[in-house]
Amino acid sequence: MKGWFNAQAIYVLWLREMKRYLRARSRIIGSLGMPFFFLLFLGTGFKNFKPPNFPSSVDYLNYVAPGIMAIVLQLGSMFGGMGILWDRQFGFLKEIMVTPVSRVSIVLGRTIGGITTTVVQGVLFFCVALLAGLKYPGIAGMLSGLAFMILISCAFVNIGLVIASLMRDMQGFSIIMNFVMVPIFLLSGALFPLEELPRWVQSLCFINPLFYGVDGLRASFIGISTFPAALDFLILFALCGVMIILGAFLFSSVDVD
């Protein structure tokens, strides 16, 4: 298909991202290191922890595992934007920008590649969580959880791409990413029930996109959530569309000199 959608260009960029990911084994191990220890110490150390209004049928490990999975997806997705800065530094970005390929296709190729690698990380973490004691959610729960994993990855891959499009310095990018990711993580409700937070903090959670990803994963895996899973899905889907459009717009104006 010609015009804004170029399937071959999307495939080539996706394949490049996959090869880079598979060749960097340290990246795979490192991306799972912190979440694994979170799950090990929080899930087992607080296994008998029961906050007020906490469902009696769900222990803390099963409650916190979907939240930590969302953090795995967030970290892997947003730091994928650093690849833009590497490509700019080593000249690859200039090469693809001068090709007769639409910026939307370039963004889609990088987005799909980022989604694939982060979903792989999420699936690996899910396997570890099963071994640690996470209850198997069934086929329907798995498929619903996979859909939310894709949406979370898509949203945060493009958030990382948007930030990278506005920057040139890799060290500055890392600082900004940490500055952005920590509040998103703390306000996602990944580690504790939203009902235990003050009202004004709950209001901040409701404007946090990761909150809806955590909520959707919990609905899929353990059957409890703050909002209906369909609402979580629609909010994340709309955010993905907005971020892809914004990413393509900003990416088209990236300075590659």
Question: Rounded to two decimals, what is the model's pTM?
Answer: 0.85
Contact 119, 150 (CB under 8 A): yes
One-character DSSP codes across 224-253: --SS-HHHHHHHHHHHHHHHHHHHHHHHTT
In the chain, where the domains are located: 7-48+65-251
More confident residue, 245 or 28: 245
Q: What is the pLDDT of residues 36-86, one digit of tens each?
A: 776 677 666 666 666 556 666 777 788 888 888 888 888 878 776 667 767
Please, which pLDDT band fits residue 1 given cuts at 50, 70 and 90?
A: very low
Residue type, 166: L
Distance, in Å, from the CA atom of 51 to the CA atom of 47, rounded to the nearest integer, reads: 11
Average pLDDT over residues 88-102: 68
Q: What is the pLDDT of residues 178-208, one digit of tens each?
A: 788 888 888 888 887 777 778 888 888 899 9
One-character DSSP codes across 132-160: HTPPP-HHHHHHHHHHHHHHHHHHHHHHH
pLDDT at 25 over 80: no
- CB pairs under 8 A, 24+ apart, for 191-200? 191/42, 191/64, 191/67, 192/51, 193/51, 193/53, 193/54, 193/63, 194/226, 195/52, 195/53, 196/51, 196/52
Distance, in Å, from the CA atom of 86 to the CA atom of 157, rounded to the nearest integer, reads: 16
